[in-house]
Amino acid sequence: MVSLKTIAEKCGVSTATVSKALNNQKDISEETKVRIRKTAEELGYFPNAAARALKTNRSYNLGVLFEEEAGSGLTHEYFSGVLNGFKVQAEMSGYDITFINTRSGSQKMSYYEHCRYRNFEGIVIVCADFEDANVRELMNSDLPVVTIDYVYHNCTAVSSNNILGMEELIKYIYEQGHRKIAYIHGQNGSFVTKDRLASFYRTIDELDIEVPDEYIRTAEYLKTAEAARQTRELLALKNPPTCIIYPDDTALIGGRNVIMEMGLKIPEDISVAGYDGTRMSQLLHPKLTTIQQNTEMVGREAAIRLINTIEKPKTTLVERVVIEGNLIHGQSVGKLL
């Protein structure tokens, strides 16, 4: 294993100078730092994490709270994209990531206790029950915390622009001639649902569209069976919609199956639109009209904000960071004559 002494001999400096350069201390020149770092990289030097922690009193470890309700775990495309973006950015900044749990062997502990036990320097809450007392304790603690898709008064939040995304989707559907637009939204209580639903109502009001209450339905995110049931009920109405918006691209599959079972065609007989922009959505035929969320950027921004809070606490503000999505026109929303 390459040591500080090896690097020092190669550069013709002391081990103390090498240590200062690798720890970005200010009492040596930038030129010397660059030369030493380049040599360290060429030699394949890796700092000993335990030694670094003892010397700097820092763990360079970030905790990730991920309690996903739908049961998809890390296969959930939205959250896997967010987590990958977070991981890549954290590692580029010299940090490791560890998932938070409530057990150490047979001993049960709170999220906050686990974070202290693991000596995490900061936490990202990617997915959780934000009303849970354990989660609230974590957000109100002395640890830096960044949340994903949830706004809390003392934590920086990073989210997709669900408000603009829904607005763009509705306006595109409107431009295609649709006026009878139904919306099967995600579960009530979700911050994402609140933003999208408010944007839906605001946009249809702006466009002067009348949407009957029976056009607004609920199906939990990723739940195809409930989306299928709601689709069947919408299509059985005396005055059915010409376009149905679903909570997400996966839930839409349930509705799509019902439409096909009824012998209807998309978009000739009924138009549909999703949300998320998953890879699968573009493999369907016809290709799905949807909002593609920039999950990698959401994760990267969360890591940047969290690490900045850790390293520059005096200059850090609590912020709401919004990441823009992208409307994919697809072929599932037909043009009405």
Comparing 19 with 225, which gets the higher pLDDT? 225
120 close to 59: Cβ distance less than 8 angstroms: yes
pLDDT tens digits, 288-331: 999 999 999 999 999 999 999 999 988 888 999 999 999 999 99
67 close to 83: Cβ distance less than 8 angstroms: no
Number of compact structural domains in the chain: 3
Q: Quick check: is 36 in a domain?
A: yes
Q: In what order do the strands lie in the sheet with 271-273?
A: 216-218, 181-185, 243-245, 271-273
Structure tokens at 267: 């978009």
Do 93 and 115 belong to one domain? Answer: yes
Average pLDDT estimate for 189-195:
91
pLDDT tens digits, 40-90: 888 887 766 555 555 556 788 999 999 866 656 667 788 899 999 999 999
Average pLDDT estimate for 234-260:
96
Do 9 and 75 belong to one domain? Answer: no
Do 256 and 167 belong to one domain? Answer: yes
User: Percentage of the chain surpassing pLDDT 70?
Assistant: 92
Single-letter amino acid code for the residue at 8: A
Do 90 and 109 belong to one domain? Answer: yes
For the chain, helix, strand, coil in percent to 5 are 45, 15, 40
pTM for the model: 0.80
Do 284 and 306 belong to one domain? Answer: no
Q: Of 290, 271, 281, 283, give the one whose Cα is nearest residue 332.
A: 271
User: Percentage of the chain surpassing pLDDT 90?
Assistant: 63
Domain at 230, CATH number: 3.40.50.2300
Do 212 and 133 belong to one domain? Answer: no
Q: What is the pLDDT of residue 72?
A: 61
Average pLDDT estimate for 118-134:
92
Domain span at 130 = 61-159+296-324
Comparing 107 with 223, which gets the higher pLDDT? 223
Do 171 and 264 belong to one domain? Answer: yes
Do 178 and 287 belong to one domain? Answer: yes
Q: Quick check: is 52 in a domain?
A: no
DSSP conformation letters of 239-271: S--SEEE-SSHHHHHHHHHHHHHTT--TTTT-E
Supply the mean pLDDT for the chain. 90
**129 by DSSP, 3-state: which?**
coil
Token pair 């002494």 in the structure block, residue: 5
